[in-house]
Amino acid sequence: MKPELLEHFANGYPKRDYTIEIVNPEFTSVCPITGLPDFGTITIRYEPDKSCIELKSLKYYFLEFRNAGIFYENITNRILDDLVSLLQPRSLSVKTEWKARGGITETVSVSYSAS
């Protein structure tokens, strides 16, 4: 993964609490055990403080997972870590919803709060 790909821009309304939700239904990575691709939807929801995530850089950051072998739980927590580290937001959550494998689906949800 390359968190250095992520870019941010200055929040134009830093005195106000508000929420930004970003949904990427076209996420794909690789199962580290079988080597077969996984497909999922990533939802990021955060309250910006001084910085907002730049969408295009987020897209390129997501692309680095395309051929990486990594577990659902680790993807979810790592995206949270990278974004919190970059944005220092008031709060931030990541939810990853995965297409069925063997008839079974999994969703992983993790939240961060500055307070």
In whole angstroms, the minimum distance from the beta carbon of 50 to a second copy comes to 13
Q: Which is nearer to a second copy, 4 or 105 (CB)?
A: 105
Annotation marks residue 81 as catalytic: no
Here's the x/- map for a second copy, 13-52, by CB under 8 A: it reads as: x--xxxxxxxxxxx-x-------xx-x------------x
How many whole angstroms separate alpha carbon 23 and alpha carbon 92? 14
Residues 52 and 29: their CA atoms lie apart, in Å, by 25
113 binds a second copy (CB under 8 A): no
| Residues annotated as part of the active site | 31, 38
